[in-house]
């Protein structure tokens, strides 16, 4: 994470930042590859991903979202344009006019989307920002012939193949879920049940907020957010793993993501974030 975590760093500075944003938190970069959104299983492309000024993101929907609902963009909490939320802080329904460059399947710019508000943002337990857009899913499809990525409602599985698709860098990283971290601690923030990548997902600054796609389903299972850059313990840009017994371990060069399956249970009719819904476990203000 930087600027707030990794975001605002330059290419050289990015290497020293743990959170993968560019002016926000953690992120990583790797050799160009194909993908971002899964149009069909095994065909992960950039369609539906977005580039922010300092991070990556994606247009997302749940299985119950209606075509007439205002679309949502997901990125990291540390990519929030007003600054990284503090530990324990939850932001809801905050006005925003942030713009996003929508990408097509090949990574080209399809058009510009604009937010009307921050529906939800936090860096507590997870690291997410959800923006509500001025456009509906139907309008995006009609104007750009691009579909939103669907959030999986299932917990990711250890060993499954994944693709990290960065709209900022227009690069894709292919690896697998190495395992899950009971608690991932970075600076003042602690995240729960984080996804640890196998080494080939060597993400860099600017990849913060990238959707993590399961190529077998084309659905989003996590959001890319950080990595340990320098081998330090639990400092900004150097997250540490904490097990249920409180034991701390550090894995320099290892990168991580936050699961997204819990978001679906908090989305009500009209794509409204309702933290009081049964089964919603996202942190509340």
Average pLDDT over every residue of 39-51: 82
For residues 251 and 245, give the distance between their C-alpha atoms in angstroms, rounded to a whole number.
Answer: 18
Give the tokens for residue 111.
């058009």
Name the pLDDT band for 26 (thresholds 50, 70, 90).
very low
Within 10 angstroms of residue 245's Cβ, the number of other Cβ atoms is 6
pLDDT tens-digit readout, 194-223: 999 999 999 999 999 999 999 999 999 999
Name the pLDDT band for 44 (thresholds 50, 70, 90).
very high
Name the pLDDT band for 43 (thresholds 50, 70, 90).
confident
Is the model's pLDDT at 36 over the cut of 60? no
CB-neighbour burial class of residue 279 (10 A; exposed 0-12, middle 13-18, buried 19+) = exposed
> Mean pLDDT for the chain?
89
Give the tokens for residue 116.
């009307």
The sign one gets for the Cα dihedral 140, 145, 147, 148 is: negative
Name the pLDDT band for 17 (thresholds 50, 70, 90).
very low
Give percent of the chain with pLDDT exceeding 70: 85
Give the tokens for residue 265.
């249970």
Give the tokens for residue 203.
């993400």
pLDDT tens-digit readout, 234-250: 999 999 999 999 999 99
Contact 56, 75 (CB under 8 A): yes
pLDDT, residue 11, reads 36
Non-local CB neighbours of 8 within 8 Å, separated by 6+ positions: 2, 21, 22, 23, 24, 54
């Amino acid at each position: 994470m930087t600027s707030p975590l990794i975001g605002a760093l330059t290419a050289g500075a990015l290497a020293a930042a743990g959170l993968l944003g560019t002016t926000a938190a953690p992120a990583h970069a790797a050799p160009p590859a194909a993908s971002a959104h899964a149009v069909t299983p095994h065909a992960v492309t950039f369609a539906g991903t977005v580039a922010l000024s300092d991070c990556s993101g994606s247009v997302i929907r749940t299985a119950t979202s209606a075509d007439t609902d205002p679309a949502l963009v997901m990125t990291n909490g540390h990519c929030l344009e007003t600054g990284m939320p503090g530990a324990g802080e939850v932001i809801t329904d905050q006005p925003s006019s942030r713009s996003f460059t929508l990408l097509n399947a090949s990574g080209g710019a399809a058009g510009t989307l604009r937010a009307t508000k921050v529906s939800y943002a936090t860096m507590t337990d997870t690291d997410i920002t959800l923006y509500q857009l001025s456009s509906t899913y139907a309008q995006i499809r009609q104007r750009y012939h691009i579909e939103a990525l669907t959030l999986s409602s299932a917990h990711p599985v250890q060993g499954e193949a994944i693709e990290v698709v960065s709209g900022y860098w227009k690069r894709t990283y292919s690896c697998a879920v190495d395992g899950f971290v009971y608690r991932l601690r970075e600076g003042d923030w602690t995240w729960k049940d984080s996804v640890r990548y196998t080494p080939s997902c060597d993400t860099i600054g600017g990849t913060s907020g990238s959707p993590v796609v399961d190529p077998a389903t084309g659905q989003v299972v996590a959001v890319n957010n950080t990595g340990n850059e320098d081998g330090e313990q639990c400092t900004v840009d150097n997250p540490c793993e904490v097990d249920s017994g409180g034991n701390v371990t550090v894995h320099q060069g290892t990168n991580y993501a936050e699961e997204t399956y819990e978001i679906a249970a908090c989305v009500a009719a009209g794509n409204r974030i309702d933290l009081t819904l049964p089964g919603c476990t996202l942190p509340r203000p």
